[in-house]
Amino acid sequence: MTNDYLLHLDALVAYSIYEEATEAGASNAVELSEDMSHVFQSMVSPTDSVWSASAVCFTPAAEIFTTTMVRRSEPEAFMQAQDSGLLHGRKRSLLETGKGPNRAYFIHHPYQWMKKATAWCLADELELKNALSRIQALGKMTRNGFGRIASTTIEHDEVALDKWKLRYLPLDMDGAAGIEYATTKTCCLRPPYWERSKAVPSKEPVF
Q: Cβ–Cβ contacts within 10 Å for residue 99, how many?
A: 7
One domain, residues 133 and 52: yes
Task: Decide if 194 is inside a domain.
Answer: no
Our count of domains for the chain comes to 2
The per-residue pLDDT for range 12-59, each reduced to its tens digit, is 999 999 999 999 999 999 999 999 999 999 999 999 999 999 999 999
pLDDT exceeds cutoff 70 at 3:
no
pLDDT exceeds cutoff 50 at 1:
no
One domain, residues 55 and 69: no
Angle at 204 between CA 196 and CA 116, to 5 degrees: 100
Average pLDDT over residues 171-194: 93
Nearest to 71 by CA among 92, 110, 98, 111: 98
Q: Are strands 65-71 and 105-111 parallel, antiparallel or unpaired?
A: antiparallel
One domain, residues 36 and 130: yes
Nearest to 122 by CA among 37, 193, 49, 12: 37
Angle at 170 between CA 186 and CA 178, to 5 degrees: 110
What sign does the dihedral 205-200-185-18 (CA atoms) show? positive
- What is the C-alpha separation between 44 and 50, in angstroms, rounded? 7
Instruction: Using pLDDT thresholds of 50, 70 and 90, give the confidence band for residue 192.
Output: very high
One domain, residues 83 and 145: no
Tell me the residue range of the domain where 78 lies.
65-106
Average pLDDT over residues 103-124: 88
How far from 93 is each of 76, 81, 101, 203, CA to CA, in Å? 11, 13, 16, 50
Half-sphere CA count of 29, side-chain side, radius 13 A: 14
Task: Decide if 192 is inside a domain.
Answer: no
pTM of the entire predicted model: 0.80
Q: Residue 18 in 3-state DSSP?
A: helix
The per-residue pLDDT for range 144-169, each reduced to its tens digit, is 788 899 999 999 999 899 999 999 99
One domain, residues 48 and 78: no
Task: Decide if 195 is inside a domain.
Answer: no
Task: Decide if 36 is inside a domain.
Answer: yes
One domain, residues 121 and 154: yes
